[in-house]
Chains A and B, each alone.
Chain A
């Protein structure tokens, strides 16, 4: 399984918050099985949305980013535009659910 570009705190602030680009950020960790399912789905969707980059935050490496978003538990997929989380999917969902949120940005 390939990975999405991973973000640390500095990169998150620069890309997501300051640049304000439309993007998807998946909060996950290696040992979580549901994260693998969500990752596989996003992977299949990625090519359909070349203008919306997909990023990943490893919450074990970046616990502060998680706390900042008031997140507890993984996987959580956040959809950002203009530096703000516009919506969030907790846990697993269908490809359509993820696609709808991306298109809603």
Chain B
């Protein structure tokens, strides 16, 4: 089954929902696809206290409001997992299990997932003592011994939550004595919490047990010495990885899989934008994600308008047209463009010559694979219009 949209947003967390709000409000026919709960990782967050004008909310409540807001502007939100994408033409294709969606532009707001370390026993005991979600699983460790790996904000916050149920919580930290990755306030509190025990300069080398977890091997990173630490549960909070594997080579990714964009969220492949935690960025919060989503949807809207104008002016022109690409920021580019223009004028029958600033008309420049530099200061492309 094929369905057609103006804008498809992949990911229904705060970045994706904000893109849905801006897309819907710009009267783009907008589809938001979410593989898990609408709200993304925020849905698993117990408490949000730093989203401006919302003094206190649960993650699910805040996200329900955001989703409702997007729907009110006409965005369609569906819980479906994207299998694959094809961004190689102007018709962007997004495949899910039972449908093929087409869009003029796509926003990737897929966020992150917890890092899996790949140490022995981690996968084998997932759901049998290995966990990545305290909200889901902490209560199953009533009066048991739990080990946590990691010391970021999430690790420390979740450890305190687990400590409400568990008999003991041992936090394994790779850094030197007293050094935690989390914010200072949380660190001070955690180091004073009598139910939390810290093992510094250490990591977990293996999870062992028979049918369920019976312990972990803790390795001292200075000496490489390992020793057994009996426990019934182990929680891994050692960072997040970008959820970009399904994209394959359709968009450029950095070596660790993050998406890099400027502040217009443009991925430089024509009509594909990124927003939220999946970007290489300084701060990953609801407050920063919604800004990304707004910018990405606005950039997508401009790209669509630009392409529509271009279609009418150029692709459906009765006469051939010359497209002259230049970059005002590149010394000599204007002169090079002038030369190309003059060459056209000297022809017996000069063609219509349209100028494109590659900074403003990025979608069109990337459509023709234009890359201007010192050696190639301006470039002309002939487009035959209706004559093909």
Contacts and interface: CB of A to CB of B under 8 A. Distances in A.
A interacts with B: yes
Contacts of A34: 36-37, 44, 133, 136
B131 interface: yes
B222 interface: no
Interface string A68-105: 00111111100000000000101110111001000000
A92 B83 contact: no
A73 B97 contact: no
Given A33-B60, A41-B79, A44-B79, A91 B128 contact: no
Contact residues on A (Cβ < 8 Å of other chain), bracket: 20 to 34
A70 B136 contact: no
Given A70-B211, A96-B81, A36 B37 contact: yes
A8 to B, nearest CB: 19
Chain A interface, DSSP helix/strand/loop, else mixed: mixed
A35 interface: yes
Q: Which residue, A33, A41, A76, A90, has most C-beta atoms of chain B within 10 A?
A: A33
A36 B127 CA distance: 17
Contacts of A72: 127-129, 131, 137, 140-141, 212-213, 232-233
B2 to A, nearest CB: 19
Nearest to B136: A32
B140 A33 contact: no
B193 interface: no
A26 B233 CA distance: 21
B136 A71 contact: no
Contacts of A88: 127
A80 to B, nearest CB: 16
B212 A73 contact: no
A94 B35 contact: yes
B36 A70 contact: no
Contacts of B366: none
A40 interface: yes
Interface in A43-74: 44, 70-74
B132 interface: yes
B137 A74 contact: yes
Contacts of B128: 70-72
5 contacts: A33-B37, A72-B127, A72-B233, A74-B136, A91-B132
